[in-house]
C-alpha cells in the first residue's frame, strides 16, 4: 500500500505543479519546484509510515520538514506557489486520508485528465510551446503515467498488492516515470525527440515525397501519350525535360558551428512528441479502464 499512496500523492502534486509552473512560465518566470516537490513527497511518505503512532503530535511532526521547501523560492510569488501544496500534504496527514478506493481515485483522475487540455489551448493558439516545455510537461507526464499505474494497482486485491514481484514491477515503472519527468524538465528528451524526427523526415519522409512526385510526373507523361493517340497536335514533353534543377553552391563546412534545425521543424518535433506521449497514455488508460471494476 505504500507504493499506492506514493503514486496518489505524486499524481495530486504533479497536477497542481503542472498548472502552477505553466502559469508562471507565461509570466516569464521559472520557479524552482523540483526540490520542494521531492521534500513534499518524502514528508507525505514519512507521515504514512507513522500513521499508527501515538500520540497525534508524533504523526504530525514530520510536517515540519516542509519548512525546508521555503528555502528554495527566490521571491514571495514562488512561496505562494508552494504554500497550497504544503497545506494539502498537511491536510492529508491530519485527516489520515491514506486509504484509497478505486472508484474515488478513478473519478478524480479522469477529472484531472479533462483539465489537462486547458494547458494545451494557449500554446496551440499562439503556436508557442516554450512555456509548456519549461514547466508543465514533466508534471503532465508524471500525472498521466503514475495515474495509470495507480488505477492499475487499485484494481488488484490485497493479496496481490502485497506480493514482492508486484511491488518490484510497479516500483520500477514509477522510477522510470520519475527519471523521464526529470529528463523532460531538463529538455534533454525533447531535444532528442526533435533530432529523431528530423532524421526520420530526411531519411524516410523526404525520399517518399520525391518518389510520389516522380510517380505522379510519370503518370502525367503516360496520360499525355494516351491523349496523343486521339489528338495528333498535342506535343508530348518528357517530365525530366521541363525541369531544371538548380544546384546550390556547396556551403563551407570547415567551420565549427553546429547544424541549426529550421524553427518550423523544431516546433513540429515538439508538437508531435507531446501528441505521441498523450496519445499513448490515453490509449493505455482507455484499455485499462474498460476492463470493468476492480476485484
Residue 284 to residue 15: CA distance in whole angstroms:
19
Mean pLDDT of 76-96: 89
Grid cell locating 6: 506514493
Residue 133 and residue 72 share a domain: yes
**168-207 confidence digits (pLDDT tens):** 888 888 888 777 776 666 656 556 666 777 777 777 887 8
Residue 18 to residue 119: CA distance in whole angstroms:
8
Task: Categorize the per-residue pLDDT at 85 as very low, low, confident or very high, splitting at 50, 70 and 90.
Answer: very high
Q: Select from 85, 35, 94 the least CA-distant residue to 62.
A: 94
- pLDDT higher than threshold 60 for residue 53: yes
* Residue-number span of the structural domain to which 203 is assigned: 187-236
Residue 174 to residue 6: CA distance in whole angstroms:
9
Structural domain includes residue 244: no
Residue 208 and residue 178 share a domain: no
- pLDDT higher than threshold 50 for residue 18: yes
DSSP symbol at 234: P
Task: Categorize the per-residue pLDDT at 256 as very low, low, confident or very high, splitting at 50, 70 and 90.
Answer: very low
Structural domain includes residue 26: yes
Structural domain includes residue 230: yes
- Model pLDDT, residue 189: 58
Please state, for a pLDDT cut of 90, what percent of the chain lies above it. Answer: 8
How many of the other CB atoms lie within 10 Å of CB of 148?
Answer: 22
Instruction: Please give the tally of structural domains in the chain.
Output: 2
Residue 202 and residue 168 share a domain: no
Mean pLDDT of 227-244: 54
Residue 70 and residue 17 share a domain: yes
Structural domain includes residue 252: no
For helices 188-200 and 164-186, what crossing angle results, to 10°?
Answer: 80
Tell me the range of 37-51, 140-154, 200-214 where mean pLDDT is highest: 37-51
Among 129-143, 163-177, 219-233, which is the least confidently predicted range? 219-233
Amino acid at each position: 500500500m505504500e507504493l499506492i499512496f506514493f503514486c496518489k500523492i505524486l499524481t495530486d502534486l504533479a497536477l497542481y505543479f503542472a498548472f502552477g509552473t505553466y502559469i508562471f512560465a507565461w509570466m516569464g518566470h521559472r520557479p524552482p519546484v523540483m526540490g520542494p516537490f521531492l521534500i513534499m513527497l518524502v514528508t507525505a511518505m514519512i507521515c504514512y509510515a507513522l500513521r499508527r503512532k501515538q500520540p497525534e503530535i508524533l504523526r504530525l511532526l514530520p510536517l515540519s520538514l516542509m519548512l525546508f521547501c521555503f528555502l528554495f523560492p527566490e521571491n514571495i510569488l514562488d512561496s505562494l506557489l508552494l504554500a497550497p501544496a504544503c497545506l494539502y500534504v498537511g491536510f492529508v496527514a491530519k485527516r489520515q486520508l491514506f486509504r484509497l478506493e478505486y472508484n474515488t481515485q478513478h473519478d478524480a483522475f479522469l477529472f484531472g485528465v479533462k483539465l489537462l487540455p486547458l494547458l494545451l489551448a494557449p500554446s496551440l493558439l499562439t503556436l508557442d510551446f516554450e512555456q509548456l516545455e519549461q514547466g508543465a510537461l514533466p508534471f503532465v507526464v508524471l500525472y498521466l503515467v503514475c495515474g495509470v499505474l495507480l488505477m492499475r494497482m487499485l484494481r488488484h486485491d490485497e493479496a496481490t498488492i502485497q506480493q514482492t514481484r508486484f511491488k518490484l514491477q510497479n516500483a520500477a515503472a514509477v522510477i522510470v516515470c520519475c527519471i523521464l519527468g526529470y529528463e523532460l524538465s531538463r529538455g534533454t528528451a525533447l531535444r532528442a525527440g526533435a533530432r529523431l524526427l528530423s532524421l526520420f523526415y530526411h531519411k524516410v519522409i523526404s525520399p517518399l515525397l520525391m518518389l510520389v512526385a516522380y510517380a505522379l510526373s510519370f503518370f502525367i507523361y503516360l496520360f499525355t501519350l494516351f491523349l496523343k493517340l486521339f489528338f495528333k497536335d498535342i506535343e508530348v514533353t518528357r517530365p525530366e525535360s521541363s525541369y531544371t534543377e538548380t544546384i546550390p553552391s556547396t556551403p563551407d563546412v570547415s567551420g565549427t558551428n553546429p547544424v541549426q534545425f529550421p524553427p518550423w521543424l523544431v516546433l513540429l518535433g515538439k508538437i508531435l512528441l507531446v501528441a505521441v506521449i498523450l496519445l499513448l497514455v490515453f490509449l493505455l488508460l482507455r484499455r485499462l479502464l474498460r476492463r470493468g471494476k476492480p476485484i
